[in-house]
Chain A
Amino acid sequence: MSMNPIRLVPGSGMVRGMALTLRRFFEPKATIRYPEVRADIPPKFRGRLQLLYDEYGTLKCETCFQCAQACPIECIDMGGMDTKGRFHVHWGAAETYGERREESALRRSGRTVPDPAYDHFEGVDVGAVDDILEGFDHDPAHLLAILEATQAHYGYLPVGALKRISQVTGTWYAQIYGTASFYGHLRFEPPALLEQAAAMAARRPAEQAFLAGLGASLSGGGGDDA
């Protein structure tokens, strides 16, 4: 600080501050008038949770659940019908979807999630799953082994059994589904059904329509409400 004699006058600093505020009074303002003017969002902005569309206008999401698995705070959830008519798929933070909010709360409190989309996956006897889990001490760390044992028992991985594993171990369903879909030797459909479908497809091209009808009847009319 230089020894300016004016600075020795009491109150001169306040006067200078007031001069500054008066100057700012006339300066251009920094406010962004929000509804009319939007602040520009940088291209790298990561704040939006949304799915990307490809150039044909279809969703790029393949419901592989890898994002849900990687999410450190488990805020990504999915539901709706996936590409094979297997699952009820939509996407986004679980809490942002009204119809999922209650389920999320239930799941977090460790209770059963009533979801009509799951209904036609019911009917699996989950007693065997409980025995398997008992053998592995209900420890999700042995998930792969649990899944293999489950498949060994049922021949495939029924959704009801996966749901049971999720309920009992407290593991995020996405994680179980992701693990199961990651390994090639784990499958979601009974092998007999798969073989039958393949054989029918090989027999006559005309049966493609029948196959499609079969697929539609298997999917059970669960609508895609994404």
Chain B
Amino acid sequence: MTAVSRAWGRLTLPGRIVFTLVPLLAVLGAGLVALIVLFGGTAADLILANLGFVRFLAAATIILVITIPIAFLNIYLEMKVIALMNLRVGPDRVGPWGSLLSVVHGLKVLIKEDFTPTAADPIVFTWAPVVTYAAAVMTLLVLPFAPGLYGQDFNIGLLYFFAVGGMGVVGLLMGGWSSFNKYSLLGGLRSAAQIVSYEIPLTLSVVGLLILAGTMSLNQIVQQQSGWFTDWFVFRQPLGFVIFFIAATAEANRTPFDLTEADSEIVAGFATEYSGMRFGFFFFAEYVNVFILSALAAVLFLGGWNAPFPFPALSIPLYPGSLGIPLLFLIALVPIIGTLALAAPFYLARSSMRWWVALIIGFVLFNVVAGGLTFAWAYVSFDWVAGLVWFMAKTFGFVFVFVWMRGTLPRVRIDQLMGFAWKWLLPAALLNLFVTAAAVVIVGS
């Protein structure tokens, strides 16, 4: 006994962790194997029988999780792009080019005090960020990221999107109402007025597109835009696109329509009294919203996951499994040979270079080349990879425009905002709808 305790006492902390974890993992792994052996067939049958439901569960979980990196990426983009436009450097300390700063921001809001004002309504105050965040996450469910890569393909997908997306304002209103702060109240009411007003042109602007497409399923709308980029709806509905973009800016509370959190007027609007992770939820929801509206703009008007031009159909007859035993040799030798081959020119060209520096350069280069080749192979072989690349490129293009606008434009006034929605956007959206409908009737008859 004493020998064991003495040996344990000599172990360092990592050693103790290893000695604890390895047996634990072994036991658990054995148990898992036993479970699979005993009940594997039944479980597989159960999953296969309820495939749709399991798929939905998986999609919902993945979507909930994926909002976090999306929000982090958007926050980082916002910080960095605006900084560069301001002739600043922006985040450059945490991670490469400061790219982990938004993660640190996320951790920061997690460990901050979760503060509730004395006279606030605690229940409404607590649930307000949840409502906003849930609305943002739920809209992600119908977005088609790539062929076969979507949460659910509704036939009323667009309607669902607007209906659920409109719920976000309820959270803002709740937050503003319950904070016991007049700035919050003003911000909440502003957001209600603004978002309700801009819902109408936003929805009307896509009705013309719906007439052309004949469906509300986002997947089918994307499929109809396949082919050349001239098939994208932005060229058939330019006015609709402009209206959609302006209204989406207002929907996402982005500059120049960020009146709900106008810091020079009403401090932070509805979020004035929020701190800690509750504020973090508002913050995340805002940036997820930016992503979602950008994605919707890409899906509706820029062809979603379609490439701008059809690629010549390439099929690479590369089946790694057919190589057999030589594949093992290939896996073992290609990295070494590639590294040496790429390192040799550097070592030979510059006599002052140490051999290990050349090897490191060669290794990095080999990884870049191999990664690029693998990506190219995946891009050609799997259409979901290609689709995801194009979708993300378009979406983050829109996100960049949103951030760019924030870096450039001042804020409009509340009466100008409302006047613009009702006097200009709404008639323009109706005109767009009327012209589209007339054109469809005339061409169709």
A and B touch in the complex (CB under 8 A): yes
Chain A interfacial positions (CB closer than 8 Å to B): 14, 17-18, 20-22, 24-25, 27, 29-31, 33
Which A residues are in CB contact (< 8 Å) with B84?
Answer: 24-25, 29
Chain B interfacial positions (CB closer than 8 Å to A): 81, 84-89, 92, 404-405, 407-409
Q: Are B81 and A33 in contact (CB under 8 A)?
A: no
CA of A27 to CA of B404 in the docked complex: distance in angstroms?
15
Q: Could you list some 9 contacts between A and B, CB below 8 A?
A: A14-B408, A17-B409, A18-B405, A20-B408, A24-B84, A25-B81, A30-B88, A33-B89, A33-B92
CA of A89 to CA of B87 in the docked complex: distance in angstroms?
48
Which A residues are in CB contact (< 8 Å) with B88?
Answer: 29-31
CA of A21 to CA of B404 in the docked complex: distance in angstroms?
8
CA of A27 to CA of B89 in the docked complex: distance in angstroms?
11
Which A residues are in CB contact (< 8 Å) with B87?
Answer: 24, 27, 29-31
CA of A39 to CA of B404 in the docked complex: distance in angstroms?
30
Which A residues are in CB contact (< 8 Å) with B405?
Answer: 18
Q: Are B407 and A31 in contact (CB under 8 A)?
A: no
Q: Are A24 and B409 in contact (CB under 8 A)?
A: no
CA of A33 to CA of B85 in the docked complex: distance in angstroms?
17
Which B residues are in CB contact (< 8 Å) with A29?
Answer: 84, 87-89
CA of A18 to CA of B408 in the docked complex: distance in angstroms?
6
CA of A27 to CA of B86 in the docked complex: distance in angstroms?
10
Q: Are B81 and A17 in contact (CB under 8 A)?
A: no
Which B residues are in CB contact (< 8 Å) with A20?
Answer: 408
Q: Are B404 and A22 in contact (CB under 8 A)?
A: yes
CA of A85 to CA of B220 in the docked complex: distance in angstroms?
94
Residue of B nearest to A31 (CB): B89
Q: Are A24 and B89 in contact (CB under 8 A)?
A: no
Q: Are A17 and B89 in contact (CB under 8 A)?
A: no
| Residue picked from A14, A20, A21, most chain B C-beta under 10 Å | A21
Smallest CB–CB gap between A178 and chain B, Å? 48
Smallest CB–CB gap between A17 and chain B, Å? 5
Smallest CB–CB gap between A28 and chain B, Å? 8
Q: A17-B408, A25-B85 are in contact. List 10 more A-B contacts (CB 8 A).
A: A14-B408, A18-B405, A18-B409, A21-B85, A24-B87, A29-B88, A30-B87, A31-B89, A33-B89, A33-B92
CA of A18 to CA of B407 in the docked complex: distance in angstroms?
8
Which B residues are in CB contact (< 8 Å) with A33?
Answer: 89, 92
Which A residues are in CB contact (< 8 Å) with B85?
Answer: 21-22, 24-25
| Residue picked from B81, B84, B92, B409, most chain A C-beta under 10 Å | B84
The 9 closest A-B pairs by CB, nearest first: A31-B89, A21-B85, A21-B408, A30-B87, A18-B408, A25-B84, A17-B408, A25-B85, A29-B89
CA of A29 to CA of B85 in the docked complex: distance in angstroms?
9
CA of A14 to CA of B88 in the docked complex: distance in angstroms?
22
Q: Are B89 and A18 in contact (CB under 8 A)?
A: no
Smallest CB–CB gap between A29 and chain B, Å? 5
Residue of A nearest to B407 (CB): A21
Which B residues are in CB contact (< 8 Å) with A22?
Answer: 85, 404
Which B residues are in CB contact (< 8 Å) with A18?
Answer: 404-405, 408-409
Q: Are B89 and A14 in contact (CB under 8 A)?
A: no
Which B residues are in CB contact (< 8 Å) with A30?
Answer: 87-88
Which B residues are in CB contact (< 8 Å) with A17?
Answer: 408-409
